[in-house]
């Protein structure tokens, strides 16, 4: 090579089909961006056609009754009454239970006198009062 010859630089052939598609994509993207900006200036947000449905519906999970908050908040304590015979009677006491009714059920089952039933009802009421506060 002589000093007066310059090396030939190879350039990208813009007439090639691949380059034409790249240029076309750039022009389309620019036009789309201009269109979006124009919509935002006019106050109309671009809404995709979802026909009012959310893509993922809310899934409600099943909560078994024994684990629900309502029941667990009402459950106060377990009352166990042991009779002379050794038989044990167990009752789950909740806020909605009446102490007199619980004592009456136990009294009927074990044939207790009224004084014992009243004393048991009073004891149940005291335990409920302790746990309500």
Summarised one tens digit per residue, pLDDT across range 83-109 is: 888 888 888 888 888 999 999 999 998
* CATH number for position 113: 3.10.20
Residue 53 lies in a domain: no
Domain range spanning residue 99?
74-132
Residue 99 lies in a domain: yes
- Encoding tokens for residue 114? 């009224």
Residue 49 lies in a domain: no
Q: At a CB cut-off of 8 Å and minimum separation 6, what does 120 contact? A: 81, 102, 103, 106, 107, 112
Residue 33 lies in a domain: no
Residue 27 lies in a domain: no
* pLDDT tens digits, 34-89: 999 998 888 755 555 556 666 666 788 887 777 555 545 577 888 888 888 888 88
CB 81 within 8 A of CB 106: yes
Number of domains present in the structure of the chain: 1
Residue 17 lies in a domain: no
CB 83 within 8 A of CB 110: yes
Residue 127 lies in a domain: yes
Residue 114 lies in a domain: yes
| Global confidence as pTM | 0.44
């Amino acid at each position: 090579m002589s000093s007066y010859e310059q090396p030939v630089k190879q350039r990208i052939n813009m007439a090639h089909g691949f380059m034409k598609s790249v240029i076309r994509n750039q022009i389309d993207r620019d036009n789309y961006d201009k269109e979006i900006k124009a919509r935002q200036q006019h106050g109309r947000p671009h809404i995709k056609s979802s026909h009012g449905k959310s893509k993922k519906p809310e899934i409600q999970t099943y909560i078994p009754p024994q684990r629900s908050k309502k029941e667990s908040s009402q459950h106060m304590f377990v009352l166990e009454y042991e009779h002379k015979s050794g038989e044990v009677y167990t009752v789950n006491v909740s806020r909605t239970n009446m102490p007199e009714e619980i004592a009456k059920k136990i009294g009927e089952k074990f044939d207790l006198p009224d004084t014992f039933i009243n004393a048991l009802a009073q004891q149940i009421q005291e335990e409920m009062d302790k746990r309500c506060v």
